Structure 1
Amino acid sequence: MGATRADAGDKEEGVMATDFFWSYTDEPHASRRREILAKHPQIKELFGPDPLAFIKIAVVVSLQLWTATLLRDAGWSKILPVAYFFGSFLNHNLFLAIHELSHNLAFTTPSLNRWLGIFANLPIGVPMSVTFQKYHLEHHRFQGVDGIDMDIPSQTEAHVVKNAVSKSVWVVLQLFFYALRPLFLKPKPPGLWEFTNLTIQLALDAAMVYLFGWKSLAYLILSTFLGGGMHPMAGHFISEHYVFSPEQETYSYYGPLNLMTWHVGYHNEHHDFPRIPGAKLHKVKEIAPEYYNSLKSYRSWSQVIYMYVMDQTVGPFSRMKRKAPKKDS
C-alpha cells in the first residue's frame, strides 16, 4: 500500500499516535474494481436500483413517526429507553437508507432519489440528506485525500481525543462531529435542494410539536443522536475506515446487523462497487471471494467500539490519508 507514519513505532511502544497514516498510492478500490470486473464481468448484472427500497423506507418512516405520537404523554423514564432500544435502530436505519439513496440506488432518476431521501429524513428530526450526499460522494471519489474527504477527523479532534475517557466522549458525540466537521472545514454553498430539505423538515418538526407536543419531537431527536453514539449500529462509523492494521484502510463487517443497516457492513464491496445496492453486496463476495476472504473484517460492531476506546494506540489519527493530486499549471 505504500503507507507510512512519522511515528510508526508507536503501535509497538503502546502510545497514542501523533499523525495520520500517509499513503503514497491511490485508494485501493478503483484498481480492484477494474481487476474484479475483468475477471468476473457478471458482477455488472448486480448494478442498478433496489426495487424494494421505497417500501422499506416507507415502513420505517411510518413506524417511527407513529411511535413518536404514542409517546406524546409519556414520562422521560419511558421515552429514553424506547429511544435507545427501539427508535435509535429505526433512525439509524433511515440514516443508512439516505446513504443508499446518495448513490441513486432506489430509482434510476436522481431527483426521485433526492425526494425519497428528504422523506427518509423526516423522523431523523434535522435536515441532512441533501448535504450528506454532496460530501459522501467526495468520500468515495477522493478517499483519504487531505482536505477533501470530510469523513476523516480534523486535526483538532485528533489532538484533543487522547485517552479512553476522551475517546468515550467522542464516540458518544461522534454524530455531531460527523455532521458538523464538513460545515466548518469545507463549507459548501446551499442550493435549492438544501432549502427544500430544510423547509420540509422544519414543517414536519413544527407539525409534530403542534399536534402532539414537544416530547414527540424530542423522541425523534433522541433516537437520532443516541443511535449515532455509544450504540451497536454506530460501530460502523469506526469499523469502516479506522486503521487497526496499517496495511488495510477499508474494513467490512459480516455480522447480523447488516440486515438492519442496508448491508453497509459490506464496506470493501461497497467502495469497490458503489452502484450495487446493499441487498446485493453479499453476492459480490460470493462471486469474487478471492479478493475479500484474505482481507481483515469484523463480526461485531460493539467489539469495534470497545477496541477503539480501550486500545491506547488507536484514536482519531488512526486513518489513512493521501495528498491531494497536483493540479496542472
Structure 2
Amino acid sequence: MATDFFWSYTDEPHASRRRQILSQYPQIKELFGPDPLAFLKITVAVLLQLWTATSLHNAGWLKILTIAYFFGSFLNHNLFLAIHELSHNLAFSTPVYNRWLGIFANLPIGVPMSVTFQKYHLEHHRFQGVDGIDMDIPSLTETRWVTNVVTKSIWVLLQLFFYALRPLFLKPKPPGLWEFTNLVIQIGLDASMVYFWGWRSFAYLILSTFVGGGMHPMAGHFISEHYIFHPEQETYSYYGPLNYLTWHVGYHNEHHDFPRIPGNKLYKVKEIAPEYYEGFESYRSWSQVIYMYIMDRTVGPFSRMKRKRSKTGDGTKKDD
C-alpha cells in the first residue's frame, strides 16, 4: 500500500478543462441554472421518510433495521445529495432559498449538517486537493490506522463519521447564525419525533443515515469520486443506474467541470463534448468500487491527489 499521497504540482484539471470546453461549445452555458423540480423532489423524499419513521413507532428492532437499510437509507442518502445540489444553489436562483430548503432536506437525516456542509464543500471545489484546505482528503490519522483489509472494511462501514467529523477536528470553522438555525430546527424535529412517536421512530432516521453512508451501494460514490485507482486521473465518473436516486452525482468529472449545471442535465455535457470524457476511466457499479477499495492492497487512504498551498496561503487559483 502507498505510504504517501499522490502529489501534483499543477492546478486541478477542471477549471482549465471548463475553459476549453466552453470555448468550443459555448451552448453549454444554456444548461446553467436551477432545477425547477428540485423543491418538489426534496419535499416528496422528506415527507415520505418522515411518514415511514412515524409508521415504525411500534415496530421491532429487526424490522426497523431492515427497512432502514433497504429503504430509508436510499431516501436519506438521496437527501444528503440533495443538500449537495443545494450547496451549489441549484434549486433556486436566490441563494437564501436554497439554504432554507437545505435545512428542510436535512430534517430526516437527524443530524444538522446542511449549512456546515456547504462551507467545506465549496472549498473542495475551489481548492481540490490543496493540503490543509480540502477536507475531503483523509487525515494522517486515517492513513496510519487504515492499512489492511480489516481496517479498510471498518473505515468503509464508518466512513460517514470520518467524512463528517474530519473537518471539525482538522479545520473547524466558527458557527454563525445559519448553523444555529440549522441546529435549532433539527433539534426541534428530533425532539418532536421522540415526544410524539417515540425513540424507535427517531432511531429509524438515524439508522437510515448511518447504514446509507457505510457499507451500502450508494455510499460507493464517496470512494469513486476522487480515490485514485489510475495514477494519471484524480476525478472519476459513474454512469450506472443509481444516478437516478442520487441527483446524478455520479457524473463527477462533469460536475466539477460545471458545478453550476444541475445534476439532471450533466449527462448533456458528455453528449455535447464527448471527446473530453470518453478517454477517462469510469465506473458502472459503486458496490464494485467499495469491493475494489477494500480488497486491492495497493489502494488506501493515501490514494488521493494532493497539492501544496500557494504562496498566498490559500490554494491554486480557480474559476467559479
When the two structures are superposed, what TM-score results if normalisation uses the length of structure 1?
0.95
Tell whether 2:293 aligns with 1:308.
yes
Residue 195 of structure 1 corresponds to 180
- The counterpart of 1:90, out of the listed 58, 67, 75, is 75
CA distance in 2, matches of 1:158, 1:283: 37
Q: Any residues of structure 2 matched to 1:49-68 within 5 Å, and which?
A: 49-68=34-53
Shift of 1:322: 0.5
CA distance in 2, matches of 1:166, 1:285: 37
Shift of 1:327: 1.5
User: In the alignment, residue 222 of structure 1 is paired with which amino acid?
Assistant: L
CA distance in 2, matches of 1:160, 1:325: 29
How many residue pairs get aligned? The number is 313
CA distance in 2, matches of 1:70, 1:54: 24
Residue 157 of structure 1 corresponds to 142
Residue 32 of structure 2 corresponds to 47
User: In the alignment, residue 224 of structure 2 is paired with which amino acid?
Assistant: S
- The counterpart of 2:208, out of the listed 223, 227, 230, is 223
Give a deviation string over 1:50-85, Cα, whole Å, max 9, x none: 000000000000000000000000000100000000
**2:298 aligns to what SS in structure 1?**
coil
CA distance in 1, matches of 2:303, 2:106: 30
- The counterpart of 2:97, out of the listed 102, 107, 112, is 112
Residue 29 of structure 1 corresponds to 14
CA distance in 1, matches of 2:169, 2:57: 35
Tell whether 2:237 aligns with 1:252.
yes
CA distance in 1, matches of 2:118, 2:202: 25
CA distance in 1, matches of 2:267, 2:68: 30
Tell whether 2:194 aligns with 1:205.
no
Identity percentage of aligned residues: 84
Tell whether 2:72 aligns with 1:72.
no
User: In the alignment, residue 88 of structure 2 is paired with which amino acid?
Assistant: H
Shift of 1:112: 0.3
Give a deviation string over 1:298-319, Cα, whole Å, max 9, x none: 0000000000000000000000
Gaps spanning 5+ residues in structure 1: where? 1-15
Give a deviation string over 1:13-64, Cα, whole Å, max 9, x none: xxx1110000011000000000000000000000000000000000000000
Residue 318 of structure 2 corresponds to none
Residue 125 of structure 2 corresponds to 140
User: In the alignment, residue 41 of structure 1 is paired with which amino acid?
Assistant: P
Residue 4 of structure 1 corresponds to none
Residue 233 of structure 1 corresponds to 218
CA distance in 2, matches of 1:128, 1:98: 9
Shift of 1:220: 0.1
CA distance in 1, matches of 2:214, 2:138: 15
Q: Any residues of structure 2 matched to 1:239-318 within 5 Å, and which?
A: 239-318=224-303
**1:190 aligns to what SS in structure 2?**
coil
Shift of 1:226: 0.3
CA distance in 2, matches of 1:255, 1:177: 26
Q: Any residues of structure 2 matched to 1:151-190 within 5 Å, and which?
A: 151-190=136-175
CA distance in 2, matches of 1:321, 1:246: 12
Give a deviation string over 1:133-178, Cα, whole Å, max 9, x none: 0000000000000000000000110111000000000000000000
CA distance in 2, matches of 1:164, 1:114: 39
When the two structures are superposed, what TM-score results if normalisation uses the length of structure 2?
0.97
Which runs of structure 1 show a deviation greater than 2 angstroms over 4 or more consecutive aligned residues?
none
**1:321 aligns to what SS in structure 2?**
strand
CA distance in 2, matches of 1:276, 1:117: 18
CA distance in 2, matches of 1:35, 1:159: 39
User: In the alignment, residue 20 of structure 2 is paired with which amino acid?
Assistant: E
Shift of 1:98: 0.1
User: In the alignment, residue 215 of structure 1 is paired with which amino acid?
Assistant: R
CA distance in 1, matches of 2:255, 2:62: 39
User: In the alignment, residue 203 of structure 1 is paired with which amino acid?
Assistant: G
**2:151 aligns to what SS in structure 1?**
helix
CA distance in 2, matches of 1:158, 1:131: 24
Gaps spanning 5+ residues in structure 2: where? 314-320
